[in-house]
Structure 1
Amino acid sequence: MFIKQIIIQGFKSYKDQTHNSNFFAAIRFVLSDKYTQLGREERQGLLHEGAGSAVMSAYVEIIFDNSDDRFPTNTPEVKKDEYSLNRKNTTKNEIMNILESAGFSRRTVAGTEVYETRRAESRRIMEETHHKRSKIDDLLETIGGRLGELEEEKEELRQFQERERERKCLDYTINHREQERLQEQLQRLNNELDGGVEQTDDNREALKQSERQLESLRQQMKLLSEEKAQYKEERIELFRSKAQAESDNAAQQAIVERSEQLRAILPTFNARRENEQATRQRLYAKQGRQAQFRTKRERDEWLQREIADHKEEADELEQNIERLQSDIAEMRDRIENLQQAKEQRDQLWREEAKLGKFDTAEIALGKMMDQNTMRGLKSIRRIVQQHEIEGAYGPIGELFEFNEKYKTAVEVTAGMSLFHYVRLIQLLQQEKGGRLTFTPLNRLNPKQTNLPKASDAFDSAYEKSMQQVFGSTIVCPNLQVASQYARSHGVSAITPGGDRSDRKGALTGGYHDNRNSRLDGIVSERRDEIDQRVTKAMSDLQKVEQKRNQLENGYGPLREELRRREFDLNSRRDELERKQHQREQVEALMMNLSAQLSAYQSELSSDFKKALSAQEEQQLDTVNTQLPDLRKQHAAASSELSSLSEQKTTIELELKENLRPRLDQLQSFDAETGDARSGSSLTAKMKERQADLKRASKSLSNIDVKLKEIEASIEKAQGEFSTVEIERANQRAEVERLDQAIKNYQRSIEKGAQRRAGLTNRINELKTHINSLGALPDAAFTAQYQNMNLNTAQTRLHKAQEALKKYGHVNKKAFEQYVQFEKQREALETRRQELDSSDASIRELIEVLDQRKDEAIERTFRQVSKEFATIFERLVPAGKGRLIIQRRIDRQTNGADEDSDDEAGQRTGVENYIGVGISVSFNSKHDEQQRIQQLSGGQKSLCALALVFAIQASDPAPFYLFDEIDANLDAQYRTAVAQLLQESSQTGQFICTTFRPEMLLVAEKCYGVSYLSKASSIDVVSREQALDFVEGQISGK
């Protein structure tokens, strides 16, 4: 620890020309006790008086570098005026205590300050003990006198108590016997009354028990009946579900069968229809066209017309094909658009739910920081987007990942640093967009720590920023391990729960509310980026928002719209199939027309012959022969085609009017119950219905078994109910009989009711009297009084009452007071013994402290004396020096004890020490040594420096101030002192003023003090400039 900087402003004027003492006076102003109590004029004298306006205030600041933690504070640098510590006002005593703890006290060289404190504390305790003992002695004397007075009153009270005990015993005996006699008479009357009632009570209790049992059986039967009814309802519901499942299964089975039949009939139907058309064409062709025309020209004209008609029809069919293909493409686009619209609607609903969560997370994060920081983060994001700025990485909390169990530890370590950003300060200030802390990566230089390495949870580009926030913190499983690592590695340690131990030993912690986690808020804030990505989707969402608002007014309209869309989708699919089939038919017709057109063109190019050739005649005969068969085949095909057409129409009608609506109903039911498999195939739905049918059948079997068990339990309960009902009737009859007997008996004993009341009143009076006697003596319950004759007891009671009249003035609390004072005396005597023991312990402690003080002083003297001899020999190689202790006994004998190491603890002890002397020789190690009074000024200065350096070696101080200590020294001594200063500066700071060159040669930094315009100033100068200045002073320039 050393002085880092001294700031002097408006402080004091000085008489010397160079004003170099300004520096040392300012230090004494802060650290010494001389300026603690000043008058007005003295305070005015501390202000600087120079040219210009008058100075109204002055201050001196000393800034210490506390890197070695010599000051017991938690920061490496402490600076502030007016006796403040870490920006908090404090008292001068606290500052002085801190300075003394750092070694700024000459009284602590030998550690005697602690001894003086403990000794003064012991003396104070001894004085308090003596005062308490005096008070105890006074109280004991007062109590002793009062006990003597109570001793006389106690004898008279004893006689009174003997008479009083006898009276109480006799009075109790007489009244107790009378009470017992009356109790016996009352008991006989009550027994006569209760004898007939007990039997009735037993019967009433049995009757109540039966009624409770009946009520329990009723409740049981009621519960069983309700359970039976519930199972019946469940059975009916299961029957209904089973029937519904069977119906659904049958409908789905019929749909599958009819669909299979339709798929099987369609190929046959199409083949038969094509066969009929081909047969008809063959018949027309077989008839020939030779008989229709007379000339080749008529035939050719007819063929050309047919060819033109077929071409026109072919062109029309091609247009139809193109139109159908366009319709098919349009239908597919519409189906795809409907499907995409449905998926887009679901996606937009999901995005809307996410946006709601993002807004909630952003609001929660805003509550965890101040408004300036929140506005700053929003402004930063907007600025980065507007200006497209690179290198803005975002808040620190968004640049790393963490394990969930360390969330609390990360939060406590980083705190508000989680929101520290990078760059953009100028733009943020221009727009007044809030306040934010930035961490420029190229300016950070975090302190490197020796911690275990692990895989980083962040990009290497952010390493400096992460080291700045988390680099000096380690996570430990508990606070004990955290404290050990904090001390051993010089870092801050934190537990997963947020408890923290820093390297100074301070422990911090407590409850941390994880519900308001900054990290959770930052994680949620990251999702704000997704909000940017779905901005485009928001425009589409706004387009369907109106339709969604209309649909969300009720679930029914929404479901109806969905059904309509699905029906529209199915209709489009059916229309697509129909168009595709129609296109296939047109393509087939187109092929037939092409073939016929080719035949016509071939015939047109052939010669026209009126008669047929022999081969053609033979072919015609063959055709004529086949013509009847072909007609029969045509008729059969037409009949079969009509039957298949009728069957096809029937199946299609059933599918359209019955089965497909049923299928739609089943699909709607699945959609309403939230079935996620609504898009599965018909076969899968049929299997599902079959599984439901099996489950329903199994549940019906279980319910039938439970119904049988419940019916058996009901029958058993009904049997028990009948049995208990019979028993209750018999018991009720017996109770009625006994009630009548009691009424008869009560009429007979009503006459003794008044007598019983009188006995009860008398017994209560006797009880009251006995209670008024208070605590009875033990003798009242012995045989002496229990067997005493009643007349004798009454006689003795009268005598005892007469005797008590003589003790009317007795002090009835004498015994209690005597015991109380006796206890006080015992307590005071015990306390006095404790005080005597404490006094002996304190005296023993003082002896121990005196001994330790002697040992500390002697040990310190030996150490300083040894260092003084060594350092003096280094300063004066030809001489010798040593320290000596001066004692009172030596002064009385006009001698000095020059014992050093071996004789320091002899004879009279430290209390006879009166000072320390110096014995030196500058010329020889064997000549007679001189005392300090016999030395010259330069020699005295050298001895003083040797003593200071000896003390510094024994108990080093943080820094030393030397004001021209080499002024009176010879050159050889100045050189030796400079070398010693250079060696000692390794462990302490030395601030010196000098006009000699020797110290300048070993100084680390030189300052020049100058005086100009009635003001002194100080500047850093080089060693060469300092040497030139000193040489100029020596030469008088």
Structure 2
Amino acid sequence: MFLKSITIKGFKSFADRVKVDFEPAITGIIGPNGSGKSNISDAIRWVLGEQSAKTLRGGKMEDVIFAGSGKRRALGLAEVTLTLDNRDGALPIDYKEVTVGRRVTRSGESDYLINNNSCRLKEIKELFMDTGIGKDAYSIIGQGKVEAILSENSVDRRELFEEAAGISKHKSRKEEAKKKLDSTEQKLQRIKDIIHEIQRQVEPLEKESKKAREYQEYRSELKELEVNLLANMYLELEEKLDQDITSKQRLSYQLTEAKSAVSEYDLRIDKEKERLEELTVDSDQQKDNIFEAKSSVERIENKLNLAKQQQNNILEQKNRLENEISRLEDRITLNKEEISKKDDKEIELVEKIKEKSLLLDEKNRGLDNLSKQLEEKFKVKKSFQDNQLNQITKINRQQHQLETASRDIKRYQEDIAALEELKESLNIEVDKALEKMENKKSRLEEIKDRINDYHSKHNREKSNNNQLQSHLSSLRDEYEEIKDSLNTKRSRLKVLEGMEENYEGYYRGVKNLFKYIEESAQIEGVCGVIAELINTPQEYETAIEVSLGSTLQNVVVEDDQVAKEAIEYLKTSKGGRATFLPLNLISSRSLNQQELSALNVEGAIGVAKDLISYDSKYRNVIENLLGRVVIARDIDAAVKISRVADKRVKVVTLGGDVVNPGGAMTGGSRNQNNNLLGRSREIGVLSSEVKKLATQLKEREELGLKVKESLVESEDRLVKLEDRIHQLELEEANYLKDYQQTNKEVERLRSELADKDSNIKRINQEILRVESESKELSQALSRLNNDDSSIKEKVIELEAEIKKLEEKKDLYTNESTELKVTIAALKQERGSLSEELASKERAIAYAKDEINSKKEEINRLGDKDRQLIFRKQELEKEKEEMSKEVVRLKNLLDEFRIEISEIKDKIKSYQQESKDIRARYERLQKEYNKVEIDVAQLQVKLENIQSKLQEEYELSIEQASADIKKIADHKKVEREINSLKRSMKRLEPVNLGAIEEYETLSKRFNFLQEQHQDLVESKESLEEVIKEIEDEMKEKFLETFNQVKAEFEKIFTDLFEGGQAQLALEDEDNLLETGIEINAQPPGKKLQKLSLMSGGEKALTATALIFSLLKVNPSPFYVLDELDAPLDDANVDRFANYLNQLSKIAQFIVITHRKGTMAAANALYGVTMQESGVSQLLSLKVDEVGEYEK
């Protein structure tokens, strides 16, 4: 591992960002005094966690931030980053390169970073622990470190040895263990104090607990006697009640008969009145029907008039369409005539092309003939010259050559002229072809634009189609999901409704009673069970259900008479038992003022009756059952509420736990299978959700149909667009084919032009050659002209003839070229004519399509006309029927009026008979009321017994009667009860909570004793760990001291070039705290203490010790801040040489101004202040140092 670089920004005098790259061996940092070079050492110390502003040569930590200069404002942030090479894994982190950073702001915010991740100072210390690197380690050595070595306090030197021994981590572990030990001892003391306090509380609480248990035993026995007595009294009163109910039933029967008779007459009267009302309504309805029928006749007549108007409109539309068809047929005829004319023109052009082609062939044949004649003339001339050459071989040969050259030149010149004319003709053809290509290119681009436009429309429509398909798929998924949810909820609702209809979960008596009422409707005035008559928020369901208990199934009835009828039915049918709550007998119950104050306790929610909703009709019943029940958040709150209310109210928690009047508590797990309150609520919720889901399902179905319709329309549009694109692509292909053919023709013509240019160039070169040869031959022939004049004349004559033939040949060539141009023009004209013919054909096809469309429209209008004729016939028939209906309704109205008169007479007769029966009914009612009062009084007594059982013991009469013991002497039992109450009174006051408090305190006492034992064992374990750490520290320290001692003796001798030195422990028996003495004997002096040496000797001795520590436990890098300052030049050279040796095992960053040390550096950086107050960094070469220092 080595230090790769440091980056500084805003730290002390380094206002600008500065990066120093360090060499693996020695890097020197130099600069004038006050330039800020030591600030680099401070930056390294600071980033490694230095917290002392004084150590960093400042007053407070804010001083490390650049404070500004004459030209620069102060900065708000200081930041330093070290980059270390960790490829050897020296640092315990899985990175090959590690960066450590620190930032501080003027507001005091400070950040530490490892690899740009925020961390704590502790993590940085642990990262470098025992590596020799750190703010206090000997890896950063300045004058302060030298002073520590040279200090008279020998203990100061010990820290360097501890760091070299690598026991910093052990010291840290020891400190942590000591802190834990101190904490453990404090905890032990606190637990001892708590145990003592609890012991003081347990004894009196144990007595109170025993007293409370005795009180509970009395109360239990009292409960058993009172419950049994109340149950016996209840059964006796119930038997007397049955006798009174029998008498009441007899009177009730007689009353029922009288009431029945009255009811029968009332029914007759009501029936006749209903009939009278019905007839009156029917009569009024008939009047409305007559009016409606007449209105219908008028509406039918209006529809007939509308149908006639629509027929007239159809006739007009058919006439208009037939006129348009006629116009289109005329247009087709006109286009066909024009096509016929164009066809004639095309035939004429074909004939002309054929005629010109024949002339061209004739001219080509003439050209061939002239070429042959010329060839014959040349042969004659050659033959003549051969004869001359036979006489004078040399002259004839020269003459022949001259004539040949002259002929070639002329022929070449003629060829050039012919080629030039042909080029002109070809250029004209190229221009025409290019113009044609341009027109086709323009049309192609137009077609491509249209194709691209249609493709864009197609893509948009395709995207729309895909979206519609995706939407449809999504709707289908939603439909199936909603459908599944709906089916699930319907099934659950059906199950719950089935349970409700079958009264599942209700007692047998309740279930049989309601089934009987549903089947026969013989008992009137049954309002329902309590569970059905209240609405409970879900959060309070458990609390309300526990509060009501079995009374949830109590049956609320209008009065006690209904209750008696229901009880009689259950007895006679042996259908079980049920408890009834007559509205005319039940009185409300509520909390008194003192008990209401319990609602102010934290955790109190409210009185149970106020947390539910119900019809005001049942207020007394609900307040009777729940008026003295308080709902609490939890069991702790419930206990507090019970105490405040003097244990006279029932408190129920949201979880279903109960604190009963008197203080008894009931709790634990509950069976949730028979949740009558929740079932009703769930049925309501499910009914609402089923309706909502059904609506959503219908909406998704309707939306799906709309999306399907849109999808079909989109697919139709896609097909049309694809057809149009296909037509345009065919048209594009045809134009492209024509364009490519024309382009090939242009290329061919251009190639031919290039050939002609090449031929002209070649012929001109040949003319130059031949002219040169001719000149030489002419000079030779001029000498022989006098002797050869006759031959010359003959040659001239032949040349004249040849010339005439060549001129004639040129004429034929020109005529042939003109014919070719004419033929090309005729062919072009024919092409244009063909395109016009195609356009006319397309116009005819379009017109035919329009005619077909119009004919289809006419057929559709015909169908509509026939439908209207049929509709008119139906309307005429309907009008006739409605007229008949008006007559029928008027007759029926007369019949209603007669029947109404008859019914009014019947009603008067029934009313008189009913009056007589009512007088008899009133006499029976008075007798019945007397018996009913007796029954009510018995029922109140029974209800009081039930209430007492419920309030004091939370028992229903059924539960109290389950283990009943027959009592012969009520007075005796009452005496026993009074005796028990006196015994309980003697024990009062009783703290019933003492039982629980004693058990809780006992458990806590036992727990604390266990905790005390654990802490004692933990303390012993920590003391053992501290001893082991100290033993290991002693061993490592002594081992390192001996190694450093040996190295120091050797290095001292090397640096002083003689002499000797020793290290000694001040107290060998106290290795953890002992100081270290240095005794040295420089060459030529006596052995003496360090304090007696000169300044230079001290500095060199301190250097020897530092180098000794380095060799024993080398740090990856060292920062030496002007360590060589006190040394003379000779010692500086020895210092530099030794530094070079050590650079093989460690990296050195040396801050110096000594040349000997600079010369040892592998790289040099100069620190300067070109701008006042701002340090800058320069990279230097060794030979630049002298100039730089100046």
Q: TM-score w.r.t. structure 1 length?
A: 0.37
- Greater RCO structure (CA 8 Å; 6+ sep): 2
